[in-house]
Amino acid sequence: MTAGAGGEGGLGGGELIEVQIIPQDDNWGDNTTAITGNTSVRSESFQDLAVLSRDNNDSSASFVCQRYAGSAVCALVAFFAFISPVLMVLVPRLPSMNLKREQLQCDSECDGLLISFSFKLLILLLATWAIFFRQPKATMPRIFIYRSLISLLVFIFTFSYWLFYVVRVMEDLEQVRYHSIVQFSLSLVDALLFIQYLAVILLELRHLSPQYCIKILRSPDGHSCWYNIGQLSVQRAASWALERYYQDFPIYNPYLDRLPIRKKGHNNQNSSSFKYYDVDGSASAADGQTRAVLTANARRRDSAHNERFYEEHEYERRVRKRRARLLTAAEEAFTHIKRQHEEHGPSAPMTPQEAAQSIFPGLARALQKYLRVTRQQPRHSMESILRHLSLCLAHDMSPRAFLEKYLQPSPILQNDQEHRGVQSWGLVCEQLLSRQITSGTVFQLRQNDVSLLCCIERLPHYNISEEIIHPKSNKFVLRLNSETSV
C-alpha cells in the first residue's frame, strides 16, 4: 500500500521523498509517545519552575552588566590606545594649530615612516581583532588578573605618551618638526605591538603546557574523568572544567537512580517490618510471632545486595530487549522510504516533514517503550522526535543514525533541555578564586542536584635514562630433552 500527500518542498534542488506506508490500526496513537504526559511539551514541574526563575535571573540587568563590564572596559582602553597614534599624526595638520609650511614638510624618510606606521597599525588592528575580540565564555566572580594587568599597562603607556606629547610637542609648536611627530607616534605603535605580544603569551600560551592533572567527579551518579591542565587560576580552571564536562560527560538521568522494584512473592508481601506487643500479658504467642518477624526482616536485610544484583540484571536485560526491538522497528520503517528525483512516480511526492509524520507510527510504539524503560521520556517530546526524524530523512541518514540520539547518552549538550544561553553554576573553594591552582587544590561546582568535585594534582617529573642492551643478549639457545614436544 502506498500513500502520499501533495507538496512541492524538498531538499537539494527539488529532490522529493517517496514513502510506502505500512497498514496501521486506526487507534495507533494510543500506543505511541504522542499522548503521553511525560513527553508533552506542556508538562511542567517544580524543577521547570526553578529553571525558569534561574533563566530570568540570568537575563537581569545586573547579570548582563557583570557579564560585559570587563570586556567593555578592555575594549574602551584598546580603542583609546589604537586611536591615539592616529590623532598624534593628524593633530599637527589641523588649521587651528597654525604650523608653518616648513614645519609640516615631509621628506622621503618621513614618507617611509608613515608607510611603516600605517602597516603596523593595520597589523595591530587585525591581530587584536583575531585574538581578543571574542565573546567571553564565562562570567568570573573575581577579576582576571592578567587581563587587568595588560589593560592597565596599555592605559599607562598611552597616557604617558599623551603626557609627553602635550609637554614636548604642543607647548613648543614653533620648533617642532612633523618628522619628529611621526617618529614619536611610530614609537607608540611599536610599544603597543610589544604589549600585544606580551598579552598573547600571558593570556593564550602560558596555560597550554600541562602542569597539573584534574579529576572531575560528578555527584550523585559518580561518573568521573581525568584531564591534563595548565597553569590557571581557580576560577579559570572551573570554567575549563565546565567546558570538558559539557563535552565528554554523559547525560545525567536522575530517574535511573531508582530502578524498578522486582515483584516479590506472596510470602514476602504478607511479611511486615512492624513489631508486635501483647498488651494483655500473654506473651507466649506474641513473642513467637515477633521473633519470627524479626528473623524474616534480618534475612531480608542480609539478602538486600542479592536482590539489587538481580534487579540490575533484569533491568539490563529489558533494556537490551527494547533496544533490539527499536532497531528492528526503525529498520523496517526506513525500508519504506525512497528518495524520488523525478516529479512523477508511483506515488505522490512528499516533503521530509510529511514523510516523517507518515512513517512515525511504524516505530512509535517501540521508541516509546525504549524511552520509558531508559527513563528518557521527559527529555523527548513528539515534536522533537518528528523534527529529528525529518532531518535524518532529508539528509538520507540510516536508521542507526536516527536512533543515535536516543541510544547514545553523551555528550550532555545532546540533551535539548541543556540548550540554554546561560548555564549558572556555583563555585565553592577555600582558596581565593583569583589565585593560581596548586597541587591539592579542591573546588566544587554546583547546579541544582548536580555537583562537580574537582581535585588538582601535579604531574610528576619524568626521569628518562638511557639503557644500552648488550648485542650478545639477543642470541638464544634451544634446549632439547626427552620430555619436550620439539
Question: 79-83, 215-219, 307-311, 389-393: which has the minimum mean pLDDT?
Answer: 307-311
The proportion of the chain whose per-residue pLDDT surpasses 90, expressed as a percent, equals 39
| 107 compared with 297, residue with greater pLDDT | 107
Between CA 466 and CA 373 the distance in angstroms is 57
Between CA 339 and CA 53 the distance in angstroms is 46
Mean pLDDT of the chain: 79
Could you please report the per-residue DSSP string of 214-268?
EEEEEETT--EEEEEE-S-BHHHHHHHHHHHHHHHSPPP-GGGGSPPPPP--HHH
pLDDT on residue 340:
58
pLDDT on residue 18:
56
**Nearest 5°: phi and psi at 453?**
-100, 120
What helix, strand, coil percent values describe the chain, rounded to 5?
Answer: 55, 10, 35
pTM, entire model: 0.72
Could you please report the per-residue DSSP string of 255-318?
GGGSPPPPP--HHHHH--S-----SSS-HHHHHHHHHHHHHHHHHHHHTHHHHHHHHHHHHHHH
Which stretches of 91-144 are DSSP H helices?
Answer: 101-104, 108-132
Mean pLDDT for the stretch of residues 365-393: 91
Between CA 402 and CA 390 the distance in angstroms is 10
Of 246, 274, 285, the closest CA to residue 417 belongs to 246
Between CA 165 and CA 91 the distance in angstroms is 11
Q: Does 1 have pLDDT greater than 70?
A: no
Q: How many CA atoms lie within 13 Å of 457's alpha carbon, on the beta-carbon side?
A: 9
Q: Could you give the C-alpha distances from 209 to 143, 205, 232, 396, 477, in angstroms and in order?
A: 23, 8, 11, 43, 49
Q: What does the chain come to in residues?
A: 486
pLDDT tens digits, one per residue of 73-94: 999 999 999 999 999 988 888 8
pLDDT tens digits, one per residue of 229-278: 999 999 999 999 999 999 999 998 888 776 555 554 444 444 444 555 55
Q: Does 450 have pLDDT greater than 80?
A: yes
pLDDT tens digits, one per residue of 195-232: 999 999 999 999 999 999 999 999 988 999 999 999 99
Burial (Cβ within 10 Å: 0-12, 13-18, ≥19) of residue 349 = buried
Of 136, 141, 216, 62, the closest CA to residue 426 belongs to 141
pLDDT on residue 260:
56
The model's confidence at residue 156, banded by pLDDT at 50, 70 and 90, is very high
